[in-house]
Amino acid sequence: MTATISPVPGPIDRSCRLPLFALFGCAAGWLVLSSIFGLAAAMTFHNPSLLANCPMFTLGRAYPTWAYLFIYGFGVPTAWGAGLWLMARLGRIKAMNPILITVGAKLWHVGVLVGLIGILSGDNSGFEWLELPRYAAVILFLAFMLMTVWLFMTCSWRTEPNLYPSQWFVLGAAFWFIWIFSTSVFLLQMHPVRGVVQAAIAWWFAGNLLNVWLTLAGLAVTVYVLPKLAGKPLHSYYLALFIFVTVALFGSWTGLPVHAPLPAWMGIFSSTAAALMIVPALALGLLVVKTTSGEGQPACMGGVLYFAKFGAFMLVLATLVSAVAACPVVARTTDFTWFTEGQIMLRLYGFFAMTMFAAVYHILPRVSGLEISLRRIRMHFWLAMPGSLLLALPLLVGGVRQGLRLADATVPFAATAQAAVLWVRISTLGETLIALGTLIFCVNVGWLILTYYRTLLKQQVTEALALQPVEVKS
Amino acid sequence: MVFLTAFVALAISWSGFVLVTQLQLGRVDQAKTIPAGEAYPLARSGQAMQGAEVYRSLGCVYCHSRQINQQGTTVEVTLVNAGTNSANVLGAIRTVAPQFGQIESLANVPKVLGQVADTAAADSLVTAISEAGGQAMVEILPSGPDISRHWGTRRSVAQDYIYDPVVQPGVRRFGPDLTDAGRMHPDAQWQLLHLYAPKTVVKDSTMPGHRFLFEQRKLGRNPTPEALPLAGDFAPPAGYEIVPTEAARSLVAYLLSLRADAPLYESPVTPPVPPATNDVAVVTK
C-alpha cells in the first residue's frame, strides 16, 4: 500500500468515501463471523457431540446465524454501498447527504448486532432467510429507508440523464428489498397470518431475496465492472434490459417447493418460473462472454475482473441447477436433501460473494486513493474460487445420493444420511478455504481503511508542524 | 419504465403468492374428520404451546421437516362378513367388479378382495355386497416413501398447521420428518432420553444430544421421580441424577402433540390401527 493518498479521488468518489467505509468495513467483519458460524454448523455433521453442549453453536442456532450474517451483515451493506457508488459515478453527481447515509449505515450495523444477539439467545423468528427477531427487523428497516431515500435522491438529481444498466439493477434491487422485507416482516412477525399462509409468504420472500434481489444487486456490479476492466463497452444494452425484465418477471414467482402442503397451482407456478429462469441465465452467459472475449484481456489471473467473471458464470450455473431441481420429477429426489444446500451455496458464495468482492476491490481504492496489494487480492481469489466450487458441487452430488435413498423407503433412514457423509466432508474443506478467504478480505478492507486514516492523520500532523514556525514568527 | 416493470412484476407475484394465498387459506378453520365427524385439529395444551417456542428457538427446523408428501392413493375393499348366502355375495362382487372374477370362494373372512379404481367404485361395490347380505369395508391407503417410512399416514394439508404459532414445514431431512412424532413415539420418557442422548434409544442416530435442556443434580435421599433412567456410557457421575428442565418437558409435550393422522375430506385415509405396545417397550424399561 502506498504511503500517501494518491491519486487524489475526485469529488464524486470523495462524497461516497465515508458511507462506503462504514458499510464495507463492518460488512467484512460480519462476513468473517458468518464463516465461523458456518463452520460450526458444518461440524455437527462431522461430530454431532462436539459443540452440542453449547446452545449457541448447535446447528439450530449456528446455521441461522450464518445465513443471517451473510445476508444482512455482509450482503445488504456491500450491495447497497456498491449501488450508491455506481449511482453517483454513473449519474455524475456527488452522493447526496453522505453524513445521513453514514448514520443509516451505522444504524444498520447496530441492528445487525441486535439481531445477532437475539438469534444466538434463541430469539430467531423461525423463518429461513428472515431469521432476525422483530425488534432487529424494525431497526434494519428504518436504517435501510434512511439510506435509500438518499440513494433515490442521488439518482433523481443526477446530471447524466441516460441510465446505464447498472443503475436499473440498483434501483430494482432497492425497490425489491423494501417491498419483500416490509411485507414479510409485517405479515410474519408484526401481525402474523394464520397457518400455512405463513410458510407460503416465507417461501415467497426467500425466492425473491435469493433469486431476484441477490441477482439484481450482483448484476449491477457485474455489468459495470466487466466492461470497465475488460476495456470494452457492454456488448448489448438491450440484452441487459432483457435480463432485468425476465429476472423480475420470472424470479418473483420462484421459491415455493413444488410438493409443499399448499394448493397445487402454487408449486406448479413456482417450478415453472424457476425453469423459465433459464432464459435470463443464458442471456447473461452470452452477455458476459461477448463482453469479455476478444483481444486486450488483462493478463492478471485472479484480479478483480476474475472475481466478477467467475461470479457471473456461477450465477448461470446456479440458475440452471435450480431450474432442473424445480422440475417435479427431479424435485422428488432432490428436495429435503443436501442438493438444496449446494444450490444455495453456489448462488451465495459462487456468485454473490465473488461479485461483491469484485465491487469492494474495485471501489475502495477509487474512493480512498489507496491501492490494495494485488498479491493479496489474488490470494483471496485462489482461496475463494476453489473454495466455493468445493463447497457447492460435492453437496449437489451428495444430495442426489441422499435423495435417491430417501425416495426408497426400504433403505433405513440412517443410511440416507450416511450416503452423503463423504461429500459433506469435502464441502467442509471448501467452506474452510472460503473462511480463510474471508479473513484475507477482512484484512484487505480493514487495512485499507486504517491506512487511510493513518495517512490522513500523518498528513495533518505534518501540515500542522510545518505551520508552526510561521505562527512563532507572527 | 424500468421502475414500472419492476413494480408490475413484483405486484403480480405479491398478489399471487401473498394476497391470493391469504384469501384462499388464511381463514382455514377446524375441519370435520370423515366419517367420524370430529373436530380437527384440536388446540394444543399450554405446555405444548410453550414447547413450540422451544422448538422454534432451538432451530429444530434446520434438520427436521414437518410435511408429508404423498405420491398416490390406493383404495382397497375388504370383505368383513360374507353373510348367510355367500354365493349371492360372490355373484354381486362379480357383477359390480368383474376384475375380482378369479375369487373362487369367500371363506376366511375378513378377506381383502383387492384394489379398485377410486372411492366411487369402492362405494358401489360395498353397497352391492351389503344388498346381497354381506358386509365390506373400504380402506384408503395413501402411498409414497414418506408414508412407507411411517412418518405420516397421509399427505399434509392446510388444516394440520392452523394451531402452530410459527409454521415450519421445513425443507431439510437431515433428521426424520416429525409430522407424526407424537404417534410414532407416544412415550414421554422415550422423547426425553432421545433429547438427552439420542443414541440411548436410536443406535444410529446422528442427532446431537441436547444436554443443556437437562440439569445434573446431586442425588438427594430419594431420586427425583422425573430423573432419567440412564446407564452405561450415558449415566451421570455417581451420586448425581439427570433431571429434565421445564424447557425439555415443554418440548416433549409439543413433540407428543404432533399428530396428523385425522382423515379429512382433502386428504382421506383409513385411520391406522393404534401402534402395538412393543413399539415403545424398549424405552419404558
Closest chain A CA to residue B70: A259
CB contact under 8 A, B149 and A413: yes
pLDDT score recorded for residue A472:
54
Q: For the packed helices A354-368 and A374-406, what is the interaxial angle rounded to 10 degrees?
A: 160
pLDDT score recorded for residue B3:
79
Q: How far is A188 from chain B (nearest CA, A)?
A: 8
pLDDT score recorded for residue B281:
36
**B181 vs A361, B28, B173, B235, B255, CA distance in Å?**
51, 24, 14, 26, 6
Q: DSSP for B168-218, please give it.
A: ---SB-SS---TTHHHH---HHHHHHHHH-GGGT-TT--PPP-GGGEEEEE
Tell me the C-alpha distance between A348 and A210, whole Å.
8
Q: What is the mean pLDDT of residues B109-135?
A: 87
- Judged by CB atoms within 8 Å, which residues 96-135 of B form the interface with A? none
What is the torsional sign of CA B95, B100, B105, B111? Answer: negative
A-interface mutation test, from B17, B168, B172, most A Cβ less than 10 A away = B17
Closest chain A CA to residue B22: A197
**B45 vs A125, A193, B222, B258, B263, CA distance in Å?**
22, 21, 31, 12, 22
pLDDT score recorded for residue A119:
97
**What is the distance between the terminal CA atoms of chain B, rounded to a whole angstrom?**
71
C-alpha A254: how far from chain center? 18
φ and ψ of A322, to 5 deg? -65, -35
> Is the per-residue pLDDT at B283 higher than 70?
no
| A–B interface: beta-carbon pairs under 8 A | 192
Q: How far is A3 from chain B (nearest CA, A)?
A: 44
Residues of B in contact with A187 (CB under 8 A): 18
Residues of A in contact with B209 (CB under 8 A): 48-49, 52
Per residue in A375-432, pLDDT tens? 999 999 999 999 999 999 999 999 999 999 999 999 999 999 889 999 999 999 999 9
pLDDT score recorded for residue A299:
58
Q: Which residue has the cell 436499473?
A: A168
> Is the per-residue pLDDT at B109 higher than 90?
no
Percent of chain B with pLDDT over 70: 95
CB contact under 8 A, B3 and A409: no
Closest chain A CA to residue B148: A409
Give pLDDT < 70 ranges for chain A: 1-7, 295-300, 467-474
Q: DSSP for B261-282, please give it.
A: ----SSS--PPPPPPPTHHHHH
Taken as a whole, chain B contains a residue count of 285
Q: Which of A343-352, A423-432, B67-76, B269-278 has the lowest mean pLDDT?
A: B269-278
Kindly report the CA angle at B35 between B29 and B37, in degrees rounded to 5? 40
| Helices and strands counted in chain B (H then E) | 10, 7
> Is the per-residue pLDDT at B272 higher than 70?
no
CB contact under 8 A, A201 and B18: yes
Residue (of A221, A289, A210, A290) closest to A247 by Cα position: A210
Q: How far is A16 from chain B (nearest CA, A)?
A: 24
Percent of chain B with pLDDT over 90: 52
CB contact under 8 A, B2 and A244: yes
Q: How far is A158 from chain B (nearest CA, A)?
A: 16
Q: Is A333 helix (H, G, I), strand (E, B) or coil?
A: helix
Contact, A402 vs A420, CB < 8 A?
yes
Residue (of B156, B198, B210) closest to B178 by Cα position: B156
- Judged by CB atoms within 8 Å, which residues 51-80 of B form the interface with A? 56-63, 65, 67-69, 71
Taken as a whole, chain A contains a residue count of 474
Q: Does B265 touch chain A (CB under 8 A)?
A: no
Residues of B in contact with A332 (CB under 8 A): 69, 71
pLDDT score recorded for residue B87:
85
Tell me the C-alpha distance between A129 and A210, whole Å.
9
CB contact under 8 A, B145 and A407: yes
Closest chain A CA to residue B10: A252
Q: Which residue has the cell 466478477?
A: A308
Per residue in A436-447, pLDDT tens? 999 999 999 999
Q: Is B116 helix (H, G, I), strand (E, B) or coil?
A: strand
pLDDT score recorded for residue B274:
54
**B238 vs A182, B197, B217, B232, B285, CA distance in Å?**
55, 18, 11, 12, 20
In this prediction the ipTM stands at 0.93
Please tell me the pTM assigned to this model: 0.93
Q: How far is B137 from chain A (nearest CA, A)?
A: 27
CB contact under 8 A, B5 and A199: no
CB contact under 8 A, B173 and A194: no
Reported as a pLDDT band with limits 50, 70 and 90, residue B273 is low
Task: Find the farthest-apart pair of alpha carbons in chain A and give their distance in angstroms, rounded.
Answer: 96
Residues facing B142 on adjacent strands: B73
Q: How far is B65 from chain A (nearest CA, A)?
A: 8
CB contact under 8 A, A194 and B211: no
CB contact under 8 A, B62 and A63: yes
